[in-house]
Amino acid sequence: MNKFSSNIQKEARKIGLTSGERESMRLRLEGVMQEHHLSGGGPVPSPYFSFITPRSAVPALVLIIVIGGGGVSFAAEGTVPGDLLYPVKITVNESVRGRLAFSPASKAEWHATAAERRMVEVETLADRGTLTPEVRSELEANFEDHAQEVEGIVDEAEAEDPVRAADIRTRFTSTLAAHANVISRLGDGSEDNETRRESKDFAERVNERERKFARADRPVAVKTERDGSGETTVRTFAKTDMAAPAPTLSVAVDADTAVAVRLEENASTTLREAQVEFDSVRSRLNETTVSQVRDQISRVRGQIEHARDKRIGGDASRAREDGERALHDATALRTFLKAQSRSEQNVLPATISDEKDEDSRDDEGRTEDRSAELPAVQLPL
Amino acid sequence: MKDTDTEQAFRKAFELHADELFRHASMRLSDRDRALEITQECFLRAWQYASRGEEIREMRAFLYRTLRNLIVDEYRKAKSYSLDSMIEDDEGGQIESLMPRDDTNTLEAAVMRFEGARAIRAIRELPDLYREILTLRYVNDLSIKEIAALIKESENVVSVRLHRALKKLHTLLESEQHEKI
């Protein structure tokens, strides 16, 4: 090694993982390694983990890996409140996963996933007809915690990374809207009075959260500037507050275009996932439902193409709006199909999203009219 | 290889290479948190690959290749990096690649005048094409041959690129020096 190299290496050695980061990574790797082994049939879950508190979550995971080969945490994943391993899911699995998200965007995505896990649990309990007020309030509190985290992080990230912030915001609000509907439908279909009432309450709470989060969804104004070195910088700030620009974002392309591209990509991915869900449940659906779902898939595909055309044609803000709508509808479709695959009940509504007169979708009308954009609830197929 | 052997090999690889891979990722990405996530993802991807029954012969080289692919994906996703900076024409066509590169040592000696910290800072400012090659060579201490195998270029192309990267680094450091004076 020559001296130049050793000089640089000496300095570079200052860049390294902290012991905490190294430990988190090691744990994640161990977890994944053990999970893989379980796919061939894991050990019998132990009932002795309900004493675990979040504070002891990481050592507990090590304990579980050592004793149970990771099988307990793996087996706990699909549980709901009342199940033996549910505490492991919340206090071990989720706590560890939360710690492994480092960047704000990953953290926001993790909290959005956790909030969605609570909604899916409510759906499972509503489907079983066993949603009690105690469990509902416990799940609601946990849901609220995660949802608030998403909002806080996304609000903060708005200035620094508007593309990712807009993406997470759209996906999260779409997920909330879709789950609120699924929960209502499953609750309404229940024979248990308590379940019906509690599902309705939870769905209302989710809808409230969705409306609140969507209200904060202000369009972003964009100005491009070229500095001395010729590099293009983009300044973004909320349209409602033009006087106070947010910090400069160094992106090579127009921010609206970047958001539109991201939304298109995510809408396509989500639609592909919906298609996979559809393939797995279609044998249980009647012909009318199959053809309606098929129509909806092609309609969302059309929306994505429309958004792409607008973007290529240079209408970035319209492309962004269309992309948001496509992602919203694709998410609704995927959520309904997933719920359908978990439930014996008829979950699918006839239309996933109401067609609306495009001109009425102005910024002011948007928030108030949002409930009208939700999937029709009263339409059993 | 038995499963437990593979696991042991992975644990060892993690202990040995986590820091150098993270160092590489931090030199290439401006965001430390993303560098952490990418490093973590690199090990997870490698494990997934091995768990499908695929054999990994050279663990270190494999990890570097995986990391490189993840970084390329990251650039593509972010779109905030000018693609030009990644694909800037550095090979300089035929004439440049035929020129002798004997003064590489001279250039290294010239750059050595500057402190390590300043050199690191300056490397971060270079286009990614040069940042990558300088990081691999001088931060991660890979040989020309290893770099060539990793980036799927000939040793000649690697040497030319390295030489040009050093020149750019030298120019940058010199200009900073003049600005100070």
Specify if A142 maps to a domain: yes
Inter-chain contact A25–B43, Cβ cutoff 8 Å? Answer: yes
**Does A269 touch chain B if contact means CB atoms closer than 8 Å?**
no
Tell me the pLDDT band of A35, cut-offs 50, 70 and 90: low
Specify if A13 maps to a domain: no
**Does B41 touch chain A if contact means CB atoms closer than 8 Å?**
no
Domains and CATH numbers, chain B: 3-80 (1.10.1740), 84-180 (no CATH)
- Looking at the structure, tell me whether residues A51 and A134 fall in a common domain: no
For the entire predicted model, the pTM comes to 0.55
Question: Which tokens in the block code for residue B94?
Answer: 């035929």
- Looking at the structure, tell me whether residues A199 and A50 fall in a common domain: no
Contacts of A102 (CB under 8 A, 6+ apart): A21, B33, B34, B36, B37
The residue among A76, A100, A124 that closes a domain is: A100
- How many domains are there within chain A? 2
Name the residue in chain B with its Cα closest to that of A3. B112
User: Up-side HSE of residue A378: CA atoms within 13 Å toward CB?
Assistant: 1
Specify if A3 maps to a domain: no
- Looking at the structure, tell me whether residues A30 and A118 fall in a common domain: no
- Distances from the Cα of B69 to the Cαs of B13, B63, B73, B88, in angstroms? 19, 10, 6, 18
Specify if A2 maps to a domain: no
A21 Cα to chain B: minimum distance (Å)? 8
Specify if A341 maps to a domain: yes
Contacts of B23 (CB under 8 A, 6+ apart): A12, A13, A15, A16, B139, B140
Residue A72 has pLDDT above 70, yes or no: no
Segment A165-219, tens digit of pLDDT: 888 888 899 899 999 999 998 898 888 999 999 999 999 999 999 988 876 554 4
Chain A, residues 166-185, CB within 8 A of chain B, namely none
Predicted pLDDT at A235: 38
Tell me the pLDDT band of A353, cut-offs 50, 70 and 90: very low
- Looking at the structure, tell me whether residues A270 and A298 fall in a common domain: yes
- A223: β partners: A235
DSSP class per residue in B30-58: S-HHHHHHHHHHHHHHHHHHHHTT---S-
- Tell me which chain A residues have a C-beta less than 8 angstroms from the C-beta of B22: 15-17
Mean pLDDT of chain A: 73
B96 Cα to chain A: minimum distance (Å)? 24
Tell me the pLDDT band of A29, cut-offs 50, 70 and 90: confident
Q: Mean pLDDT check: name the lowest of A39-53, A318-332, B5-19, B132-146.
A: A39-53
Residue A66 has pLDDT above 70, yes or no: no
Q: Pick from A1, A26, A103: which is nearest to B14 by CB?
A: A26
- Looking at the structure, tell me whether residues A118 and A87 fall in a common domain: no
The residue among A83, A100, A117 that closes a domain is: A100
Q: Mean pLDDT check: name the lowest of A330-344, A363-377, B29-43, B153-167.
A: A363-377
**Does B19 touch chain A if contact means CB atoms closer than 8 Å?**
yes
* Interface mutation vs chain B, best among A17, A35, A226, A249, most B CBs within 10 Å: A17
Specify if A156 maps to a domain: yes
Angle (deg, nearest 10), helices B155-180 and B144-151:
110
Chain B, residues 129-148, CB within 8 A of chain A, namely 137-139, 141
Interface size A-B, in CB pairs within 8 Å, comes to 108
Specify if A204 maps to a domain: yes
| Terminal C-alpha separation, chain A | 73
Q: Residue A210: which domain range?
A: 101-373
User: Up-side HSE of residue B172: CA atoms within 13 Å toward CB?
Assistant: 18
Q: Pick from A8, A101, A258: which is nearest to B120 by CB?
A: A8
- Looking at the structure, tell me whether residues A130 and A141 fall in a common domain: yes
Specify if A304 maps to a domain: yes
**pLDDT top residue among A160 and A169:** A169
Q: Mean pLDDT check: name the lowest of A3-7, A53-57, A144-148, A264-268.
A: A53-57
CA distance A30 to A87: 21
Residue ranges of the alpha helices (H) in chain A? 3-12, 19-38, 57-68, 71-76, 86-88, 95-99, 104-128, 133-160, 162-188, 193-215, 255-281, 287-312, 316-342, 363-373
Inter-chain contact A11–B14, Cβ cutoff 8 Å? Answer: no
- Looking at the structure, tell me whether residues A272 and A287 fall in a common domain: yes
Place of tokens 């996304």: A154
Residue A232 has pLDDT above 60, yes or no: no
Predicted pLDDT at A155: 86
Segment B27-50, tens digit of pLDDT: 998 888 889 989 998 998 888 888
Residue A116 has pLDDT above 90, yes or no: yes
- Looking at the structure, tell me whether residues A96 and A112 fall in a common domain: no
Predicted pLDDT at A37: 57
Predicted pLDDT at A115: 95
Inter-chain contact A2–B105, Cβ cutoff 8 Å? Answer: yes
Segment A7-28, tens digit of pLDDT: 888 888 888 888 888 888 888 7
Mean pLDDT of B7-19: 89
- Looking at the structure, tell me whether residues A71 and A145 fall in a common domain: no
B117 Cα to chain A: minimum distance (Å)? 6
- Tell me which chain A residues have a C-beta less than 8 angstroms from the C-beta of B80: 249-252, 258
A353 Cα to chain B: minimum distance (Å)? 29
User: Up-side HSE of residue A265: CA atoms within 13 Å toward CB?
Assistant: 13
Tell me the pLDDT band of A340, cut-offs 50, 70 and 90: confident
Residue A381 has pLDDT above 50, yes or no: no
The residue among A100, A115, A131 that closes a domain is: A100
**Does B120 touch chain A if contact means CB atoms closer than 8 Å?**
yes
Segment A285-297, tens digit of pLDDT: 888 888 888 888 9
- Looking at the structure, tell me whether residues A143 and A234 fall in a common domain: yes
Q: Mean pLDDT check: name the lowest of A84-93, B54-63, B161-170.
A: A84-93
Contacts of A106 (CB under 8 A, 6+ apart): B33, B37
Residue A233 has pLDDT above 70, yes or no: no
- Looking at the structure, tell me whether residues A256 and A153 fall in a common domain: yes
Residue A238 has pLDDT above 90, yes or no: no
Chain B, residues 146-175, CB within 8 A of chain A, namely none
- Looking at the structure, tell me whether residues A34 and A106 fall in a common domain: no
Inter-chain contact A9–B141, Cβ cutoff 8 Å? Answer: yes
